[in-house]
Amino acid sequence: MKNIIKTAVVLAALVIAPAQAQNLDQLLEQVRTGSLQKTKAATDMENRFRAAGAGKADILNSVRSQRATLEAQSNALEDTFAKNEEALNALRNLRQSELGDLNDLFGVIQQVAGEAQAGFETSVISAEFPGRTEKFDALSKKISQSNDLLSLDEIEMVFKEVFNELAQQGKISKFTTSVATASGAKEDREIARVGVFNLIGDGSFLTYGAGGVAELPRQPDGRFLGQAGDLFNAAGGETVNFSVDPTKGTLLGAAVERPSLAERVSQGGLVGYIILSVGALAALIAFWKIFTLMGVASAVQKQAANPTSPSTKNPLGRVLKVALDNPTTDTEAMEMRLSEAIMKETPKLTSWLMFLKIVSVVAPLAGLLGTVLGMIETFQSITLFGAGDPKLMAGGISQALVTTVCGLVVAIPIVLLHTAAASKAKRVEEILEEQSAGMVARQMEG
């Protein structure tokens, strides 16, 4: 079966091949003789192109006609514009000449409005009288961008607002407005305005800016807060002390940025905490020692007034008891016994005094050590980040000097307390020596 199919295919190929060859020869002959005729489809396409070309020419002629018409209209409009421009310039010149002195007045008003607007944007008085900046802004635009003349009400508004600003600078008033708290929330709060200098709440300072009234995230120290509270709660006619800020925020900002006592101490680091801790311990010991010696000195003075009845509850009584217990001892032996008794009492009187002396000497040295360590860190920061920022150097040096301040703060009072305690102990020792010498003299006389 397969062989039969193959045979049929071969026979078909042999039959078609001569026919194709004949057609190709006829096509070649037609090309050579130029007898190849256009087909009907090609003829139709050519006719369509010719018809479309004829239509495009009509469209082109129509567009050219429209362009000529529009050019004529444009020339006419340009002539009209030039004539209107000349008429407008003439009207402007006439307006300027007719204005006369009013032109100078409007110039002065524009200048005053511009200066007042710049001041109103930062003035705390605008917190009580909002909207003034917008009014002056609209007025400035009307003067500079419009041909309309200012009305009498607008001119009076400028001078009323300026005089109101001057009048309010010397007044203290209360009003209610929206205040942005330190947490970012908005709430209506009654506040007080101190002239053009400060805005205060009930024991807090406020600031005014583009966003309105806001509470300072960090308040100055308690002295200024107390003054703000006193002024806010003061009754009419009452006089209170209050520190105003004539720089309108600069001094208040410096007071806010000033570190508190706790922040100063924390800047000293570990060395500062150690110095202050040891200083506090030394101060407690010094006060305890001074009070103890004051009691001992009082008891010794009472005992000195009654030497025949010695008491073992005070140093002089114990020294006198040694003499009374040995009435038959010779003078030299009695003197030795009394000296021994005084030497036994001396360590009790001078205890902890050496510790106070050591603290008064070591505290400045420890503060100097902290300063040196802080300076090393500062110079390391300068090595890494450069010396272009003076605040970096000043801040590092300031923190480094805190430990020196701590050392001096500890040393100076400890030296004074040590001197006071040592002088009291010395006074008691002198009384003991004086009384013992008197007893030896009386025995020699007897």
User: What digits encode the pLDDT tens for the residues 298-310?
Assistant: 999 898 888 878 8
Q: What is the pLDDT of residue 415?
A: 96
Mean pLDDT rounded to a whole number for the chain: 81
Range in 12-26, 224-238, 325-339, 432-446 the model is least confident about: 12-26
What pLDDT is attached to residue 231? 86
175: β partners: 191
Asked if 191 and 151 touch (Cβ cutoff 8 Å), the reply is no
Q: Residue 343 to residues 136, 289, 293, 319, 432: CA-CA distances in angstroms? A: 91, 19, 17, 10, 10
The answer to whether 197 and 243 are in contact (CB under 8 A) is: no
Higher pLDDT, 68 or 39: 68
pLDDT exceeding 90 applies to what percent of the chain?
18
Please state, in angstroms and rounded to a whole number, the distance separating the CA atoms of residues 380 and 6: 99
If you average pLDDT over residues 251-273, what whole number do you get?
84
Residue 276: pLDDT over 70: yes
Mean pLDDT of 181-204: 87
Single-letter code of the amino acid located at 53? G
Q: What residues pair up with 179 in beta bridges, in sequence order?
A: 187, 213
Distance CA 284, CA 445 (A): 47
Predicted pLDDT at 309:
83
3-state secondary structure of 199: strand
Mean pLDDT score, 311-323: 86
Whether the pLDDT of residue 354 is over 90: the answer is: yes
Rounded mean pLDDT, 268-273: 89
Residue 259: predicted pLDDT: 80
pLDDT for the residue numbered 98: 62
Mean pLDDT of 97-106: 67
Helices 132-145, 101-120: axis angle to 10 degrees equals: 150
Residue 351, SS3?
coil
Confidence check: pLDDT of 226 > 50 = yes
**Res 250: pLDDT:** 80
- Between 393 and 294, where is the model more confident? 294
Residue 30's pLDDT is 58
pLDDT at 360 over 90: yes
Q: Give the residues across from 178 on adjacent strands.
A: 188
Predicted local distance difference test score (pLDDT) of residue 17: 45
Q: Answer whether residue 352 shows pLDDT above 70.
A: yes
Q: Is pLDDT of 9 > 50?
A: no
The answer to whether the CB of 118 falls within 8 A of the CB of 168 is no
pLDDT band at 41 (very low <50, low <70, confident <90, very high): low
Question: Contacts from 361-366 at CB under 8 Å and sequence distance 24+?
Answer: 361/411, 363/275, 363/278, 363/279, 363/406, 363/407, 363/408, 363/410, 363/411, 363/414, 364/404, 364/407, 364/408, 364/411, 365/407, 366/271, 366/274, 366/275, 366/403, 366/407
Provide the pLDDT for residue 392: 66
Determine the average pLDDT of the residues in 36-58: 64
CB atoms within 10 A of CB 258: 11
- CA-CA distance, 386 to 378, in Å (whole number)? 11
pTM: 0.60
Is it the case that residue 31 has pLDDT exceeding 60? no
- DSSP result, 19-42: HHHHHHHHHHHHHHHT-PPPPHHH
The per-residue pLDDT for 419 is: 95
- Kindly write down the DSSP assignment for every residue of 205-235, as one continuous string: EEEEETTEEEE-SS---HHHHHHHHHHHTPP
pLDDT for residue 390 is more than 80? no
**In the predicted structure, residue 387 carries a pLDDT above the cut 80:** no
Q: Please check whether residue 320 is in contact with residue 312, taking contact to mean a CB–CB distance below 8 angstroms.
A: no
> Is the per-residue pLDDT at 224 higher than 50?
yes
Long-range contacts of 281-284 (CB under 8 A, 24+ apart): 282/355, 282/356, 282/359, 282/360, 282/410, 282/414, 282/417, 283/413, 283/414, 283/417
Tokens for 23, please give them: 């057609």
Burial of residue 285, with CB atoms counted within 10 A of its CB: 0-12 exposed, 13-18 middle, 19 or more buried:
buried
Query: 198: closest CA among 185, 189, 208?
Result: 208
> What is the pLDDT at residue 5?
44
Sign of CA dihedral 154, 158, 159, 163: positive
> From the CB of residue 56, how many other CB atoms can be counted at a distance below 10 Å?
9
Region 276-305: mean pLDDT is: 93
pLDDT at 105 over 90: no
User: Considering only CA atoms, which of 298, 297, 289, 411 is closest in space to residue 351?
Assistant: 289
The pLDDT assigned to 2 comes to 44
d(CA 113, CA 257): 35
Measured in degrees and rounded to the nearest 5, phi and psi for residue 12 equal -65, -40
pLDDT of residue 202 exceeding 60: yes
Among 147-156, 258-267, 271-280, the range with the most confident prediction by mean pLDDT is 271-280
Q: Is 50 exceeded by the pLDDT of residue 206?
A: yes
**DSSP state letters, 296-341:** HHHHHHHHHH-TTS--TTSHHHHHHHHHHH-TTS-HHHHHHHHHHH
